[in-house]
Structure 1
């Protein structure tokens, strides 16, 4: 508990988490407002469409998570942390846990805020009546939390803010889509790319009438997609912890 408290204090005494949280909320809820305000009457029937901006919000969350660890490497405070807590794994797990919890909370506030605003603005029935509809909203926070774990792991591995953030954003926003251009194998590989699979968990197969972003082509069920994405995050975190324990701070 002491480690968690220390990491919480370190995280919230910097400005970046506050700004990233506000930007995430603005992006996710703002996209919902745009969709709700411009969709033709009677066509916004899929709850998942209220989460149109969750991927952009997730990108900001990953920036927040990466900065939480790379900033310590940049200013050398990570050495003080490791001197105070010789067990590097414990210290880094505490940091990861605090960031993941914060990301979960931000994600849930953003997702339910976006859904609530769209429901108020529209005449269609956007009530959460099915498990899939609940996942489309409540699942955003879960994906944000797991994405933050991935970002922390990348930050530990790379240790430089610019490099870690660039890699995360380029991969999340471009690489997975570009993989589809690989002749013959591209589509098959894309089905198993982690963020594409995470999108399957959040949005499922889709049932709405209104055109939106392409649905995930993952072959997994929503539950399987969550397990796959969580497993990917866990493996990457374990690799980063092993590397952190073997090299100099």
Structure 2
């Protein structure tokens, strides 16, 4: 608990988490507002379409998570952390836990905020949360943001440079996975197992493509898709911690 408290203090005494949280919420909720306001009629607005911008908010959240680690490497405070806590794995796990908790909270606000804005703009839209799929589409963003933050922390530990980590995360999350589909013959098969595409399978489920973001082509069920994404995040963190233990801070 002491490690968690220390990491919480370190995280919330810098400005970047606050700004990133605000930007993530503004982007996600802003997309919901634009899509709802520009819809030809209320029948084109539903739960899936209200969450269209969650991927852009997730990218900002991953920047937040990466900076939480790389800033310490940049200013050398990570050395003090490792001196105070010789067990590097415990220190880095505590940091990942705190950052993931914040990311999950931002995701919860973003999911329900987007849904609420869509409901406010198009009260006659199909926005009732009357099925498990609808609730996952909204509340599931919280889980995905938390796991994405763990991945970003892992990348931050491995790269240790803010610009490099942020570039890798943004380019991969927003472009690389989609570009993989362009590879002849095997592109779609590879894309089906890429982590953020699988995470979208959990969020979107068996929805209708025209009602929101393009559907995932992952063959997994939503439950197994979440397990796959969670496993990928934990493996990434384990690899990063293993690397951190073997090299100088």
What's the counterpart of residue 18 of structure 1? Answer: 18
What's the counterpart of residue 170 of structure 1? Answer: 171
Q: Is 1:227 matched with 2:227?
A: yes
Distance 1:74 1:209 in 2: 44
What's the counterpart of residue 126 of structure 1? Answer: 127
Q: What TM-score, normalized by structure 1, do the two folds share?
A: 0.97
The 1:138/1:245 distance shift into structure 2, 3 A limit, reads same
| Contact preservation (8 Å) 1:33, 1:118 | yes
Distance 2:182 2:32 in 1: 30
Moved more, 42-51 or 11-20: 42-51
Describe the SS at the equivalent of 1:43: helix
| Contact preservation (8 Å) 1:70, 1:156 | yes
| Contact preservation (8 Å) 1:29, 1:113 | yes
What's the counterpart of residue 79 of structure 1? Answer: 79
1:20 CA drift (Å): 0.3
Q: What TM-score, normalized by structure 2, do the two folds share?
A: 0.97
Which deviations, in whole Å up to 9, do the C-alpha atoms of 1:122-172 show, x marking residues without a partner?
112311000000000000010000000000000000101111110111111
Describe the SS at the equivalent of 2:181: helix
Describe the SS at the equivalent of 1:181: coil
Q: Is 1:104 matched with 2:104?
A: yes
| Contact preservation (8 Å) 1:7, 1:98 | yes
Distance 2:209 2:189 in 1: 26
Which deviations, in whole Å up to 9, do the C-alpha atoms of 1:26-84 show, x marking residues without a partner?
01111000011011214335311111110000000000000000000011000000000
Distance 2:236 2:48 in 1: 28
Q: Is 1:66 matched with 2:66?
A: yes
What's the counterpart of residue 201 of structure 2? Answer: 200
Which deviations, in whole Å up to 9, do the C-alpha atoms of 1:98-118 show, x marking residues without a partner?
000000001101110110111
Distance 1:63 1:191 in 2: 25
Describe the SS at the equivalent of 2:96: helix
Which deviations, in whole Å up to 9, do the C-alpha atoms of 1:222-245 show, x marking residues without a partner?
101100000100110000010011
Moved more, 62-71 or 118-127: 118-127
Q: Cα RMSD over matched residues?
A: 1.1
What's the counterpart of residue 218 of structure 1? Answer: 218
Q: How does 1:130-141 map to 2 (within 5 A)?
A: 130-141=131-142
Stretches of 4+ moved more than 3 A in 1? 207-210
Tell me the number of residue pairs that the alignment of Structure 1 and Structure 2 aligns: 248
What's the counterpart of residue 50 of structure 1? Answer: 50
1:208 CA drift (Å): 7.1
Distance 1:220 1:241 in 2: 29
Distance 1:124 1:78 in 2: 50
Any gaps of 5 or more consecutive residues in structure 1? none
